[in-house]
């Protein structure tokens, strides 16, 4: 697969920024809003935004079940921030009735970093993602971000916050070809995580 077609769930959230990063990483991005549009994609990005709204829209557009089926059938997917919540098997501090697509065996806590630090930036070591000998840390942007509260046996920790009050918090995880970050790699001007995902898709 030389240039995989990667859908971006375009119900709500920062769709355009993912478009640019995917193009830069050698993929062909397309928006996905309807169940039929899912059929034509090799993989899916679930962007940041607001997971409660995204869940409600996904349910209203009859996308939840088709998404669950494709993820269960092995479609690679990459969730960022609200998208990480959507790909998690379990949520804490969700709203009443909030469901996810699931696929990654983790529990995420919504808005975990607290209201007082709504948005912040922090360095995240990228050793598990960047194959270069001494990878630069990733300068990550967090916006009302979740963190990964606990990781089940199916999932793997890829990165933790390096320092500051949130040091040690798990902010990137993977389960097979499902990838999720609590931060927004589409906003960082650093395509290493998108490239990693596109490579996973090409191997699929």
Of residues 12 and 23, the one with the C-beta less far from ligand GLN: 12
Q: Is 50 annotated as a binding residue?
A: yes
Burial class (CB in 10 A: 0-12, 13-18, 19+), 39: exposed
Alpha helices in 134-191 (DSSP H): none
Closest among 138, 29, 14 to 82, alpha carbons compared: 14
Which of 139, 184, 194, 199 is an active site residue?
A: 184
Which of 186, 194, 199, 203 is an active site residue?
A: 186
Which of 81, 96, 156, 203 is an active site residue?
A: 81
Number of helical (H) and strand (E) elements in the chain, helices listed first: 6, 12
- The CA distance from 125 to 145, in Å, is 18
Q: Is 144 annotated as a binding residue?
A: yes
Contacts with ligand GLN, residue ranges (CB under 6 A): 48-51, 81-82, 85, 110-111, 143-144
Active site residue 81: yes
Active site residue 184: yes
Q: Is 17 annotated as a binding residue?
A: no
Of residues 27 and 141, the one with the C-beta less far from ligand GLN: 141
Q: To the nearest whole angstrom, how small is the minimum distance from the Cβ of residue 116 to ligand GLN?
A: 14
CB 185 within 8 A of CB 145: no
Residues in the chain: 204
Q: Is 132 annotated as a binding residue?
A: no
What residues form the annotated binding site?
Answer: 49-51, 110, 143-144
- Output the known binding site for L-glutamine: 49-51, 110, 143-144
The residues annotated with a catalytic role in the active site are 81, 184, 186
């Amino acid at each position: 697969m030389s240039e995989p077609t990667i859908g971006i769930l375009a119900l709500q959230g920062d769709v355009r920024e993912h478009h640019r990063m995917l193009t830069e990483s050698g993929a062909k991005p397309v928006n996905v809003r309807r169940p039929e549009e899912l059929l034509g994609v090799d993989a899916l990005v679930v962007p940041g935004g607001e997971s409660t709204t995204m869940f409600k829209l996904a349910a209203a557009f009859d996308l939840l079940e088709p998404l669950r089926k494709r993820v269960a059938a092995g479609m690679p997917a990459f969730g960022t921030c609200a998208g990480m919540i959507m790909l998690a098997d379990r949520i804490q501090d969700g709203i009443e009735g909030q469901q996810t697509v699931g696929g990654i065996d983790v529990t995420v806590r919504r808005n975990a970093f607290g209201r007082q630090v709504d948005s912040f930036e922090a360095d995240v070591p990228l050793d598990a993602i960047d194959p270069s000998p001494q990878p630069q840390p990733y300068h990550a942007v967090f916006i009302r971000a979740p963190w990964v509260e606990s990781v089940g046996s199916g999932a793997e920790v890829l990165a933790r916050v390096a320092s500051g009050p949130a040091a040690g918090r798990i902010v990137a995880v993977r389960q097979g070809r499902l990838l999720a970050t609590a931060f927004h790699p589409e906003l960082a001007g650093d395509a290493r995580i998108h490239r990693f995902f596109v490579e996973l898709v090409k191997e699929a």
